[in-house]
Each structure stands twice: as C-alpha cells, then as structure tokens.
Amino acid sequence: MFFHVRDLGIRAARFDVEVAPGQIDYQDGNLRQANVLKASGKAELVTGALGEMRVSGHASVVMEYDCDRCLEPARYPVDSDFTLYYRPVDEGYGDEKEIDGGEAEMGFYEGDGMELNHVLREHVLLALPMQRVCGESCKGICPVCGQNRNQKECQCRAVASDDRWSALREISTAGRG
C-alpha cells in the first residue's frame, strides 16, 4: 500500500492490512517474521507542515531471530501503537535534526510518498530490543568447546577466562613459525 502525498492532501488514508512473512524486507539476515503481521491505522498530512506525513496505528507480529549469545532461534512479540513522521527529503528539511521534546520518530521520504511496508518495518525495528537474546539469563556458547551452556555446562571455564592470552600466544608463535 502506497501513501501518495497528493492523495493525503485530499483525505487521510486508512489501512487495515495483513502482511505475510517475506513481504517486508527487514534488511537484516538475522530477522524474520514468525507469523502474519497485522496492522491498522491511518496516514495523514500534518497541518501546516509542507508535505509532512504522520502514520499512526497499531501493529502486532511475532519476530524471530537467532539469539546473540547462544545462536538458538528466539521469538519476540511486538504488539504496540506507533506514530511515525516522514518529511520529504527535497523540501529543504534535508539535514537530519533531532526533534524537540518528542519520542516520535522522524524519517524522510523521497519522491511522491511512502510505502506502508516501509513504515511497518521501521516500527518493528524500533520495537525490538537492542540486545537480541533468547532470555536475560542466557549463558551463551562456550568460546572454547562450542557447547551451548544453557543445555549443558562444560568443563572449560578456567581456560576460557584466560583465552585472551592464549590468543596472543598463538599469534606470536605463528609469527615465528
């Protein structure tokens, strides 16, 4: 669904969509939808601001990624309201500036308008945590033997704590050899 700035000048556009996995390119190889994304809301022009668009609504989806620590697949449900603003790049708003006093996110669009899927992608990315882990208590993978320590403790702890030095030693030995 495309929001054409000219159409929004006449009236706000309402949307109520279901987006199947694969239709949005999250531009992140380690991020995928685990189910259908559902979103509804409206897109409108902001009064008195040249070509500025506001897209607001609600979206729900379950996202899936590989845990940063143990590499096992983990799921993160997104179910939240959003309000995103977009300004035309070519109206002299070009320099990215912080917007005063709001948590609202400001983006830019090129040309005639904005694709809804692009807005939804942005909302999902903002809703995800910075650290993508399967759980706060994830123990991760042992750097020495590769064992997933959530499943089984290995015996390499002492060695692991010292592995910066062993790495250095390896480098210097390799240099001599």
- Asked if 141 touches Zn ion (CB under 5 A), the answer is no
Q: Segment contacting Zn ion (CB under 5 A): 6-14, 20-28, 68-76, 103-111?
A: 68-76
Smallest gap, in angstroms, from Cβ of residue 72 to Zn ion? 5
Single out the residue of 54, 69, 87, 121 in contact with Zn ion (rule: CB under 5 A): 69
Structure tokens belonging to residue 87 = 């300004």
Smallest gap, in angstroms, from Cβ of residue 173 to Zn ion? 22
For residues 61 and 141, which CB has a smaller minimum distance to Zn ion in the complex? 141
Measured CA to CA in angstroms, residue 81 lies from 18, 45, 64, 99, 148 at distances of 16, 19, 20, 20, 36
Question: Could you count the other beta carbons within 10 Å of the beta carbon of residue 174?
Answer: 8
Question: Could you count the other beta carbons within 10 Å of the beta carbon of residue 66?
Answer: 16
Single out the residue of 50, 145, 168, 169 in contact with Zn ion (rule: CB under 5 A): 145
With 0-12 CB in 10 A as exposed, 13-18 as middle and 19+ as buried, what is 84? buried
- Quick one: which of 132, 134, 155, 136 has its CA closest to 145? 155
Which of the residues 5 through 34 are near Zn ion (CB under 5 A)? none
Confirm if 51 and 87 have CB atoms less than 8 A apart.
yes
Q: Convert residues 101-130 into a mask of x (bound to Zn ion by CB under 5 A) and - (unbound).
A: ------------------------------
Beta bridge partners of 18: 38
Q: Segment contacting Zn ion (CB under 5 A): 4-12, 17-25, 57-65, 132-140?
A: 132-140
For residues 66 and 122, which CB has a smaller minimum distance to Zn ion in the complex? 66
- Residues binding Zn ion: number (CB under 5 A): 11
Return d(Cα 57, Cα 59) in angstroms, integer.
Answer: 7
Which residues of this protein are in contact with Zn ion, per CB under 5 A? 67, 69-70, 134, 138, 142, 144-145, 147, 154, 156
